[in-house]
Amino acid sequence: MKYVIALDQGTTSTRAVLFDKAGRIASSFGREIPQIYPAPGLVEHDPEELFFSSLRSVQRAMEIAGAKACDIAAIGITNQRETTLVWDRATGKPVCNAIVWQCRRTAERCSELARDGYTPLIRKKTGLIPDPYFSATKLEWVLNNIAGARECAERGELLFGTVDTYLIWRLTGGRVFATDYTNAARTMLFNIHTLGWDEELLKLFGVPRAMLPEVKPCGGDFGFTDSEFFGGEIPIRGVAGDQQAALFGHLCEAPGDAKNTYGTGCFLLMNSGEVCPEADGLLTTLAACVSGKPQYALEGSVFIGGAAVQWLRDGLGIISSAAETEELAERVKDSANLYFVPAFNGLGAPYWDGSACGILSGITRGARREHIVRAVLEGIAYRVNDVLRAMERASGVQITRLAVDGGASANDFLMRFQADISGCAVVRPAITEATSLGAAYIAGLSCGFWKDMGEVRGCKDIEKTFVPEMTEAERAGKLEGWRHAVKKARA
């Protein structure tokens, strides 16, 4: 066995990556996913496109590497979380398009749940809050709005799954109907303490139990792919939601280990071990692990990360590319007391203030393009720091190391400022495909491709570590200015 395959089915693209025994990328192939917007605030995907893009990506990645099915030890699947699919048990035909995690069609239903006092119940059982982000209200919407869906579901004729479940079902020819703990934990139907579907929540959302997949550990046995797809059967031995896979890919195994993905937004997760902490302003979820014994994680989302840089380019027109921001920020010694709060669509964790608006605070006649660019990059780091501090308060563990990935992690200025303002080391790996790497590690450890975590750690290669150099006094002064700016944004 020469390779492990990571199949990464994301929101905007699907990618397959072959990793060798040394944890290096042997080949990869990806393709974009068309986005469907039926109306403002609604986002959908074609389920057939999700499957066929996955099938084609794996086939092409194998072709590029000259690999056959007998060369592949296992497939690990990682996926966009919370996206909801419902399909016919007998025919495999979806009853409607997949409802994407970004879709806001159930916003009013979630507000109703909060008004009716269900937030504490949902929070206690799932670690989540009522929000259209999660799967439960999407599934409820399908059952209530697609003709005949509820009747068929109650007869046991329909199946529900997140993207991982749908892909497993299709890849195994309908022989395996399963998900893993990390994806189940994002449905708002799964009790993260008992590790089972919660009857009280199923009743609340009117979901028949027969629709739901079996829930397995991330490193469980998810069957074999149908031999017709890849010229032979390949075991599926790893499944994890994308953010949990990235946490595992960074080898954040110990309580207090944290990672941040700098994408359009920023997604932070911190391993909290076997303890499931209470956390104001944060979500509690299940972390990926291969032991079968659950581990928990704190999660916080920053809505606007790289999107702020896109705004500089497409909205203001003051940069021509994201790469230009690093050089512009370095031209000036500071941001001239400018603070940029990237609250274009409210503030996420730990504030959860949907009424907040983005502001550029402290403008004087001396403010130049370089100062604005620098302030925007600093604003991203400040927001990440807000979440890190909330994680420390909730866990009682000081964060000394932040693993990073995502497009903006390539910006040395941003990474240096993140280390300075957060007072912790920022570690950028040589392979920033942390999500794919995590899926590969889980599958490879589960099937024996790598014998243990010690061997996996030997594959890890750090490209650069940024250590804090800012004085405590300087950091305190900057953070005080940031707190004032956030108050203005929330006013």
Model confidence over 146-163: pLDDT tens digits? 999 999 999 999 999 999
Phi, psi of 269 (to 5 degrees): -130, 140
Average pLDDT value for residue range 319-335: 91
At position 259, the amino acid (one-letter code) is K
The answer to whether the beta carbons of residues 120 and 187 sit under 8 Å apart is: no
SS3 177: coil
Query: Which of 459, 457, 417 has its CA nearest to residue 257?
Result: 457
Segments of 194-316 assigned E as strands: 196-197, 214-216, 236-241, 258-262, 266-273, 283-287, 295-302
Radius of gyration of the chain (CA): 22
Residue 255: pLDDT band (50, 70, 90) is confident
Average pLDDT over the chain reads 91
| C-alpha distances in Å from residue 188, one per residue of 82, 144, 172, 197, 279 | 9, 18, 26, 9, 17
Residue 491: pLDDT band (50, 70, 90) is confident
Helical axes 107-115 vs 119-126, angle rounded to 10°: 100
Q: What is the pLDDT of residue 377?
A: 96
Residue 264: pLDDT band (50, 70, 90) is confident
| Residue 396 in tokens | 């009682």
Segments of 393-440 assigned E as strands: 401-405, 425-429
Q: What is the pLDDT of residue 160?
A: 97
| Residue 30 in tokens | 């990806």
At position 439, the amino acid (one-letter code) is A
Segments of 52-169 assigned E as strands: 72-79, 85-88, 98-99, 158-161
Proportion of the chain in helix, strand, coil states, percent, rounded to 5: 40, 25, 40
Q: What is the pLDDT of residue 98?
A: 95
How far the first Cα of the chain sits from its last, in Å, is 59
Residue 21 CB burial class (10 angstroms; 0-12, 13-18, ≥19): middle
Model confidence over 375-418: pLDDT tens digits? 999 999 999 999 999 999 888 888 889 999 888 899 999 999 99
Q: What is the pLDDT of residue 263?
A: 82
Spatial distance between the Cα atoms of 54 and 65, rounded to a whole number of angstroms? 17
Q: What is the pLDDT of residue 385?
A: 96
Residue 457: pLDDT band (50, 70, 90) is confident
| Residue 379 in tokens | 């604003």
- Residue 288 is given by DSSP the state P
Q: Indicate the length of the chain as a whole number.
A: 491
Average pLDDT value for residue range 166-172: 96
The answer to whether the beta carbons of residues 169 and 159 sit under 8 Å apart is: yes
Collect all residues with Cβ–Cβ distance below 8 Å to 216 and sequence separation of at least 6: 178, 179, 180, 181, 222, 239
Most confident of 50-64, 120-134, 250-264, 314-328: 50-64
298 Ramachandran zone, left/alpha/beta (phi>0; psi -120 to 50)? beta
Answer yes or no: pTM beyond 0.85: yes
Q: What is the pLDDT of residue 315?
A: 87
Lowest-confidence region among 16-20, 180-184, 370-374, 397-401: 397-401
Helical axes 242-249 vs 434-447, angle rounded to 10°: 80
Identify the helix (H) or strand (E) that includes residue 31: strand 25-32
Identify the helix (H) or strand (E) that includes residue 19: strand 13-19
Query: Which of 138, 60, 157 has its CA nearest to residue 97?
Result: 138
Spatial distance between the Cα atoms of 108 and 178, rounded to a whole number of angstroms? 30
Spatial distance between the Cα atoms of 153 and 207, rounded to a whole number of angstroms? 8
Spatial distance between the Cα atoms of 17 and 6, rounded to a whole number of angstroms? 5
Segments of 188-254 assigned E as strands: 190-191, 196-197, 214-216, 236-241
Residue 116: pLDDT band (50, 70, 90) is very high
